[in-house]
A and B are shown apart, each in its own frame.
Chain A
Amino acid sequence: KAGVTQTPRYLIKTRGQQVTLSCSPISGHRSVSWYQQTPGQGLQFLFEYFSETQRNKGNFPGRFSGRQFSNSRSEMNVSTLELGDSALYLCASRSGTGGSNTEAFFGQGTRLTVV
């Protein structure tokens, strides 16, 4: 069974641009969540989607948005990039109804560098 796949693995963007990251969950998983990981702040929760609906949202500005498609694949978009958005962006998928007691399986992440 294939794991969580994130594309691209690496990305370099210029300040002010926008970026879209993609996440394909494990087959059959309908819950997808996104996280930002930086050396300074560690891991932080961005948002979670379940059956195409945003179910939870962390404390990030509106420049960070996401969506989920009917096949459970998810995309995350960051507009008007800032240098501080440079980070490893991880997504994770869960089986069943995706409750927090259910194990989250993480992808390898997308390393975004903003210059």
Chain B
Amino acid sequence: KNQVEQSPQSLIILEGKNCTLQCNYTVSPFSNLRWYKQDTGRGPVSLTIMTFSENTKSNGRYTATLDADTKQSSLHITASQLSDSASYICVVTSGGSYIPTFGRGTSLIVHP
């Protein structure tokens, strides 16, 4: 069964600090992995997408990495801001069915 596990479930950091969120998956075959940011009461917004051959992708202060061999991804947030407070969701799409499997998300709270 295709699964996506994210850790930690929740995280509290101080403004200006860095943090790293983890995503492990068992989806096979693999098509792509995407990180989304979801603010409370809003729909998810895509941060990065990586295919099998990519191992790093940046979007401003967000940097995602992918290790396709170990089936792990991470999202690193640099110099956090209050507006980074949100849920971060890892999504892996199967190469066979093209159906996405979502992680439960990491709830990030940035305190001033």
Contacts and interface: CB of A to CB of B under 8 A. Distances in A.
Main secondary structure of the interface of A (DSSP, over half): loop
A104 B102 contact: no
Interface in A41-56: 42-45, 56
B43 A109 contact: yes
A83 to B, nearest CB: 21
The CB with the most chain A CB atoms within 10 A, among B42, B43, B46, is that of B43
Interface string B17-49: 000000000000001100000000111111001
A58 B46 CA distance: 21
B53 interface: no
Contact of B89 (A43, A99, A103): A43
B99 A101 contact: no
A100 B46 contact: no
A87 interface: no
State which size class the interface on B falls in. 20 to 34
A4 B31 contact: no
Interface residues of A, number: 18
B43 A100 contact: no
Given A56-B98, A103-B46, A107-B43, 15 more contacts: A4-B43, A42-B89, A42-B105, A44-B102, A45-B99, A56-B97, A58-B99, A92-B43, A100-B31, A100-B98, A100-B100, A101-B49, A106-B44, A108-B41, A108-B43
Interface of A: 4, 42-45, 56, 58, 90, 92, 99-101, 103-104, 106-109
9 contacts: A45-B100, A56-B97, A58-B99, A90-B43, A99-B98, A100-B31, A107-B43, A108-B43, A109-B43
